[in-house]
Structure 1
Amino acid sequence: MTANTLSKTKHNDPFMSVKDMALTAMFAVLIVVCSWISIPMAVPFTMQTFAIFCAVFMLGGKRGFFAVLVYIMLGAVGIPVFSGFKGGIGVLFGATGGYILGFLILPVIYLLAEKFISENIIVSVISMIVGLAVCYAFGTIWFVKVYTDSSGSMGILKALKLCVIPFVFWDILKLGLAVALSEAVKKRIRL
């Protein structure tokens, strides 16, 4: 094939268009910035899950997945993208790394619901709640395993009280805000 032939070749169904890649990168950056925003409460929380919910609702399951994956990969190579300006593979293999890796589950469940059930808002919200529950479960099991290996025994209930229960209300609130914002944006901008 000559260069001229290659330039005439059409890609009718590219894996990701330039627009898709740009949006994916923009939402990965949004996740990074929101990971750095810490809300001081009795148990502080970040806006990280809000950004992930927005990425998935606005971009859909596939592009949302890649936005989360880019975020995790940036952190894995040492860029301080995680909460508390942390980065590196040690964060992912640490006690809370399961929750970060579990974020990849949210867009996958959303994509499956979108593809096999329906693309309506109720199914979308339910799929995100299910995804969040699976993320909590994966992260908690990971936390118990890493904590037990390094610091002694810890049961699932204690881990849930420490790592999940303080965040459920705030995550559901962030989910509601993400739905409202995403619906408003999608009415005005075609992503």
Structure 2
Amino acid sequence: MTKTQTLTRTAMGAVIIALCAWISIPAAVPFTLQTFGIFLVLAVLGARQGSAAVIVYILLGLVGLPVFAGFSGGPGALLGPTGGYIVGFALIGPVCLLADRLPLPELARCLAGNLAGLAVCYSFGTFWFLRVSAMNGSAYSLPAVLGMCVIPFILPDCIKLALALTVGRRLARALRPVGTTC
């Protein structure tokens, strides 16, 4: 694959995540298709290139483009209480890379890596939420934050993961350059 193709795929991955983030149901932490986009991009591009797409997505939001949920962007979106969940998205791909070393069938490795990555993302985001809220004078307990920011999202995120892996594996095969086997 040429550098141009790699850059194009990475950019398209960031765009897909942004489009999915815009599909939202408002809540304290909005329900979006953002995690679906991340899982899909990781499934189609692989953990290494998919991680690059997630980082590009986060950087686009950091510089102010409205790529996050609710058409938000800028440093304030990342430095706010829920910004840790967005930053945590960048940790999912590296966890998937670690899972690639497991002696499991490919689909099981993908599933295990994404689920473990999601758990790391939830943990990072929850810690961030607690820290930023405390700095802003709002003291939340860990159970309260988990009840508000994690527990309601577990089942929807697992469903999004299953759909993204199903669609992503098919797309990855369709996008594979002619003449390659991997």
With structure 1 as the length reference, what TM-score do the two structures score? 0.86
Give the CA deviation at 1:69. Answer: 0.5
Is 1:73 aligned to residue 59 of structure 2? yes
Equivalent of 1:117 in 102, 112, 118: 102
Question: 1:10 matched to which residue of 2?
Answer: none
CA distance in 1, matches of 2:66, 2:26: 20
CA offsets 1:69-123 (integer angstroms, 9 cap, x no match): 0100000001111000101011111100100000011000111222x22571101
Cα deviation digits, residues 133-183 of structure 1 (max 9, x gap): 010000001001111111321111110001011111100000000011012
Q: Who is 2:138 aligned against?
A: 152
Q: Which runs of 5+ in 2 are unaligned?
A: 178-182
Distance 1:165 1:187 in 2: 34
Specify the structure having the higher radius of gyration (Cα): 1
Mapped partners of 2:88, 2:174: distance in 1: 31
Instruction: State how 1:99-118 maps to structure 2 within 5 Å.
Output: 99-114=85-100, 116-117=101-102
Aligned residue among 18, 27, 32 for 2:13? 27
Structure 1, unpaired ranges of 5+: 1-13
The answer on whether the counterparts of 1:147 and 1:153 sit within 8 Å (CA) in structure 2 is: yes
Aligned residue pairs: how many?
A: 176
Residue 148 of structure 2 corresponds to residue 162 of structure 1: yes
Partner Cα distance (1:73, 1:79) in 2 = 9
Q: Would you say the 8 A contact 1:43–1:166 is kept in 2?
A: no
Q: 1:41 to 1:177 in 2, by over 3 A?
A: farther
1:132 aligns with 2:139: no
The separation in 1 between residues aligned to 2:123 and 2:27, in whole angstroms, is 23
Residue 101 of structure 1 aligns with an amino acid whose one-letter code is: V
Alignment match, 1:171 = 157
- Which AA in structure 2 matches 1:142? W
